[in-house]
Amino acid sequence: MSAFLATVKRDLLLALRRKSEVLTAVFFFVIVTSLFPLGIGPEAVLLKKIAPGILWVAALLATLLGLPRLFATDHVDGTLEQMALSPSPLGLLVAGKILAHWLLCGLPLVLLAPILGLQFDLDASALGILTLALLLGTPLLSLIGSIGAALTLGVRGGGVLLALLVLPLYIPALIFGAGAVEAHIAGLDASGHLSLLAAMLALAVFFAPWATTAALRIALE
Amino acid sequence: MLNVSGLACSRGERRLFADVGFSLAAGEWLHVQGENGSGKTSLMRLVVGLSPADAGEIVWRGEQTPSQEFRRDLIYLGHHAAVKEDLTPLENLRLAAALDGVDLSESDALAALIRLGLRGREELPVRVLSAGQKRRVLLARLLTRPAHLWVLDEAFNALDVAAVKLLGDLIAGHLESGGLAILTSHQPLPVPGGKALVL
């Protein structure tokens, strides 16, 4: 367990030394979600209708921005090799890296979403559902993304391949995440959507680190 | 303690080596020699378990590798710097130990860095250090993590005369205390004894 926490600490410390890389994803999210209300104009009904989809698509793409770096720098400088040979299970270290990625690329989006949602005329309860959906959904995006990042590690042009590989897998999260907010706005119960998101998250927490570890071992061969 | 037999490796269509075997007991070391591209690094990576062998087996203390016990007994330093450029040598050393599940105190880490001649550099980001100094940061890991088997790939590269002697002394001390080592190098090594394996 201490190795897990040490990995999280290490990646957070590294991000602190390279703030711009983390802030890119957050700024991307803020700018994209702000451009839509500006471009469409003050049509409250329309904005409210498209808000969940736009916020979710922006969150999805923002997460994708940080993914290629998840393992790439460690692969290039050889620290990933050392992790693979460490007495600590590689799966544990990988899980730590995924958690750090979510803390850096996912959590800021969750915290910003209620503020950005105001631009779309969402009311307080809809903002609450949006935040909750993102809180369940963004870790899922990090977990699924880590498998893609590991599979495309060391591949030339891996960034594009990563997007092609991962975006289709993000679709269920997008449908149920945005669906939860849409259902709530339409006056329906959002708990079904949220439960499904939580179920997918539980599944991913179990399988994604394992699959990522297997992919990393192949990439290191 | 370490028995390697019938090891074979190919890269694509090309057979690098076949039927390579050696055994090392406590206090012994192996000098892997060969031309550029003859598969020295590939052999090292097979032995430590980074890549799977086409054939052959590697037995450590009577057990097939890779196992968790083997990884606990092993330090592998390859071609890569394996240090984070944005962190200081002190942070690098302590975090690397923490990832291995070892709690390394700041004073112990500092002592290791001073031993390797990095006094006054411990708080600088590694990115501003020279290639040889980066190498020294990595080599400090030999002092901070107890391990029986040292696998050092071209460890003497980029080191100055003093550091070559220091590393030679470290390896000699390690062997004296019953450790094992596998080294590659094109230069004659400042370590007495040793078996030779030519690929």
d(CA A119, CA A37): 7
Identify residue A3 by its one-letter amino acid code: A
- Partner-chain residue, chosen from A17, A77, A85, that has the shortest CB–CB distance to B80: A77
- State residue B76's pLDDT score: 92
Note the pLDDT tens digit of each residue in A174-207: 999 999 999 999 899 989 999 999 999 999 999 9
Q: What is the pLDDT at residue B53? A: 85
Clarify whether residues B53 and B102 are in a common domain: no
* B106-128 burial: b if 16+ Cβ within 10 Å, else e: eebbbebbebbbbeebbeeebee
Q: Which pLDDT score is estimated for A110?
A: 95
User: pLDDT class for B159, splitting at 50, 70, 90?
Assistant: confident
pLDDT at position A182: 92
pLDDT at residue A208 in the model: 95
How far does A221 lie from chain B, in Å, by closest CA? Answer: 4
Question: What residue type is B33 in one-letter code?
Answer: Q
> Is residue B142 located within the same domain as residue B173?
no
Residue of A nearest to B141 (CA): A82
B193 vs B43, higher pLDDT: B43
* CATH at B171: 3.40.50.300
Domain match, B93 and B137 both: yes
Chain center to CA of A63: 4
Are both B69 and B151 inside the same structural domain?
A: yes
Residue B79 inside a domain? The answer is: no
Q: Could you tell me if residue B78 is inside a domain?
A: no
- Whether residues A78 and B78 touch (CB distance < 8 A) is answered with yes
Q: pLDDT band at residue B13, thresholds of 50, 70 and 90?
A: confident
* Contact between B79 and A78 (Cβ < 8 Å): yes
B24 and B69 inside one domain: yes
Q: Looking at per-residue confidence, does A114 or A157 come out higher?
A: A114
Give the pLDDT score at B66. Answer: 81
Looking at the 3D structure of chain A, how many domains does it have? Answer: 1
Query: Do residues B10 and B58 share a domain?
Result: yes
pLDDT tens profile A53-65: 999 999 999 999 9
The reported pLDDT for the residue numbered B149 is: 92
* Residue B124 domain boundaries: 84-146
Per-window interface: B 22-81 vs A, CB < 8 A: 48-52, 68, 71-72, 74, 76, 78-81
Mean pLDDT across chain A:
92
Same domain? B96 vs B13? no
Residue B181 in domain: yes
| pLDDT surpasses 80 at A1 | no
* Same structural domain, B122 and B176: no
For residue B30, being part of any structural domain is answered with yes
On average, the pLDDT of chain B sits at 88
Q: Do B27 and B69 share a domain, yes or no?
A: yes
- What is the extent of the structural domain holding A21? 2-220
Interface test with B, best of A1, A7, A10, A218 (most B CBs within 10 A): A10
Grade residue B162 by pLDDT with cuts at 50, 70 and 90. Answer: confident
What is the average per-residue pLDDT within A106-130? 93
**Which of B105, B131, B146 marks a domain boundary?**
B146
Q: What is the pLDDT of residue A10?
A: 94
Q: Are residues B66 and B152 in the same domain?
A: yes
Angle between the A124-151 and A69-77 helix axes, to the nearest 10 degrees?
Answer: 30
Residues B120-134: what's their mean pLDDT? 88
Same domain, B156 and B171: yes
Same domain, B30 and B67: yes
Q: Is B115 a member of any domain?
A: yes
What does A182-195 look like in DSSP terms, one character per residue? HHHHTTS--HHHHH
C-beta atoms of A87 and B52 within 8 A: no
Q: What is the count of residue pairs from A and B with beta carbons less than 8 Å apart?
A: 79
A202 vs B62, higher pLDDT: A202
pLDDT higher than threshold 90 for residue A28? yes
Region of residue A41 (phi > 0: left; psi between -120 and 50: alpha; otherwise: beta): left
User: Angle CA(A70)–CA(A75)–CA(A76) in degrees, nearest 5?
Assistant: 115
> Are A18 and B74 an interchain contact pair (Cβ–Cβ within 8 Å)?
no
B28: CB partners within 8 A, 6+ apart: B175, B180, B193, B194, B195
- Does B103 score more than 90 pLDDT? no
pTM for this structure?
0.92
How many domains does chain B contain in total?
A: 2
Query: B101, B130, B146: which is the final residue of a domain?
Result: B146
Distance (Å, rounded) from C-alpha A181 to C-alpha B131? Answer: 54
Final residue before a domain boundary, out of B146, B164, B190: B146
CA distance B32 to B154: 10
Nearest-10 Cα torsion for B57, B61, B66, B68: 170
Look at A64-78, A173-187, B58-72 and tell me which has the smallest mean pLDDT. B58-72
Judging contacts by C-beta atoms under 8 Å, the chain B residues touching residue A7 are: 99
Does B192 or A207 have the greater pLDDT score? A207
Inter-chain touch A2–B81, beta carbons under 8 Å: no
Distance, CA of B153 to CA of A78 (rounded, Å): 13
B113 within domain boundaries: yes
* Mean pLDDT of all residues in B18-30: 89
Question: Are B83 and A81 inside 8 Å of each other by CB?
Answer: no
What is the complex's ipTM, to 2 decimals? Answer: 0.89
